[in-house]
């Protein structure tokens, strides 16, 4: 298991779908590197440093995409992954982390320092987990201590990836708009209804949507490269001057 500021002892601790950490040379991990390059280009063009990962509804795989994306980005940047899904925090379980003080503790005291609560999850990748579900995320996310925490994270890291709650069931993701520079929307291929995706995108300013990631596409890709292939990820940039992607 992890301890503060230490790297994981073995990939076996991870959910095996965290390919960017457990199997970085795999073809699946290459798809996250493609996503990484697209996000890096968009982040540079839009001066985006804090990026939230969300989905229309629960179960679309946003947390696994957030972790894999953060791990891929950390190959070239100093990255912090923040679990801000306060209703169902899943970053720690996916990484095989024991419960420990995280985002709740980091905002609980005026003297709290971000560096005391982050844990190392890979090369140049730190994680700020959420140690317990919150009954009132609205008050937490709009309070001054959380704003200060996000400001500190922005100053301390090259990029910050924020795993958020699904956007349609609860208002939490919308509250994060004041802290983030853009959103990545995760869609479960052949599962997420188009109507739900449309409703979710309508809740965000079009210019803030960096792209859409199609998760769990089972179709073979590029001939023999598709053999044994499980997940395919595609990001489509949404330009400020375009209405769709």
The SS3 call for residue 207 is helix
What's the Cα-to-Cα distance from 20 to each of 24, 26, 83, 196, rounded to whole Å? 5, 8, 18, 29
200 — phi, psi (to 5°)?
-65, -45
Sign of the Cα torsion 14, 16, 22, 28 reads: negative
What are 93-112's pLDDT values in tens digits? 999 888 889 999 999 877 77
Q: What pLDDT score was predicted for residue 13?
A: 62
Three-state SS for 115-135 is: HHCCEEEECCEEEECCCCCCC
Tokens 């063009």 -> residue: 45
Locus of tokens 């965290």: 18
Enumerate domains of the chain plus CATH numbers: 11-226 (3.40.50.300)
Q: Which residues contact 189 (CB under 8 A, 6 or more apart)?
A: 214, 215, 216, 217, 218, 232
Q: What is the DSSP letter of 176?
A: G
Looking at residue 216, its pLDDT comes to 65
Distances (CA, A) of 175 to 66, 85, 141, 171: 19, 12, 7, 7
Q: How far apart, in Å, are the Cα atoms of 87 and each of 32, 62, 71, 90, 220?
A: 26, 14, 23, 10, 35
Of 120, 132, 116, 144, give the one whose Cα is nearest residue 71: 120
Q: 105-155 pLDDT, tens per residue?
A: 999 877 778 989 999 988 799 999 999 999 889 999 999 999 999 999 999
Which two tokens mark 110?
Answer: 């005026």
Residue ranges, the chain, pLDDT below 70: 1-14, 16, 216-245
Alpha-carbon distance 135 to 45, whole Å?
38
Task: Tell me the backbone φ, ψ of residue 184, rounded to 5 degrees.
Answer: -110, 125
3-state secondary structure (DSSP) of residue 196 = helix
Cα 108 to chain centroid, rounded: 23
Q: How far apart are the first and last CA of the chain?
A: 41
């Amino acid at each position: 298991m992890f301890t503060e500021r230490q790297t994981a002892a073995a990939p076996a601790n991870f959910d095996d779908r965290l390919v960017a950490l457990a199997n970085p040379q795999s073809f699946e991990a290459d798809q996250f590197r493609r996503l990484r390059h697209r996000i890096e280009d968009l982040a540079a063009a839009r001066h985006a440093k804090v990026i939230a990962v969300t989905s229309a509804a629960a179960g679309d795989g946003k947390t696994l995409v957030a972790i894999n994306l953060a791990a891929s980005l950390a190959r070239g940047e100093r990255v912090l992954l923040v679990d801000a899904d306060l209703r169902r925090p899943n970053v720690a379980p996916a990484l095989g982390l024991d419960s420990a003080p995280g985002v709740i503790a980091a905002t609980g005291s005026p003297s709290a320092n971000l560096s005391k609560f982050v844990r190392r999850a890979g090369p140049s990748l730190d994680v700020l987990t959420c140690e317990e579900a919150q009954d009132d995320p609205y008050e937490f996310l709009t309070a001054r201590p959380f704003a200060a925490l996000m400001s500190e994270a922005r100053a301390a890291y090259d990029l910050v990836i924020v795993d958020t709650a699904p956007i349609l069931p609860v208002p939490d993701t919308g509250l994060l708009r004041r802290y983030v520079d853009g959103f990545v929307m995760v869609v479960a291929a052949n599962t997420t209804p188009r109507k739900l995706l449309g409703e979710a995108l309508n809740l965000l300013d079009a210019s803030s949507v960096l792209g859409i990631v199609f998760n769990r596409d089972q179709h073979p890709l590029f001939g023999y490269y598709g053999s044994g292939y499980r997940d395919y990820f595609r990001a489509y940039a949404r330009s400020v001057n375009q209405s769709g992607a």
